[in-house]
Amino acid sequence: MATINLEIITAERKIFSDTVSVVVAPGADGELGILPDHAPLLTTLQPGELKIIKEGEESFIAISGGFIEVLGDKVIVLADTAERSEEIDVGRAEKALQRANELVNEAKSDIDLERAVASLRRSHARLRVANRKNRATRMSS
């Protein structure tokens, strides 16, 4: 089966570097699927879940935005932040979601609302990725 090289990098560290079968990223205009031999591409990413499929196994990383570049057989994700499911503290993520909801309700300007909605999207993505880990753990028990 054909594969592509994937690197996920933040300002702090390299999160992931391996060959994979498929990458599904939260693009600016919706989900973006990257398969081997994809056309060259450079676009922005929105907060959301980055899905990685390797040898039939799915894994997820919560990202808060950034860029994705596809060149030949290589995909580079430059993420503002990125967290694997096992790194996410669910309690803290739930509190962040609650705070983001409050900020949306209290927004006094368009800029405040835009920032609050971005925070809300990041919080939802983190919780979705963390809950995927918890569901997988319960299913394997």
| Most confident range, picked from 54-63, 92-101, 117-126 | 54-63
Instruction: Answer yes or no: is pLDDT of 19 > 80.
Output: yes
What pLDDT is stored for residue 93 in this prediction? Answer: 84
d(C-alpha 79, C-alpha 63), whole Å: 6
- Name 31's bridge partners: 26
Show the tokens assigned to 8. Answer: 């996920």
Residue 96 parent element (H or E) = helix 90-106
- Name 44's bridge partners: 67
pLDDT confidence band for 9 (50 / 70 / 90): very high
Domains of the chain: 4-84 (2.60.15.10), 88-140 (1.20.5)
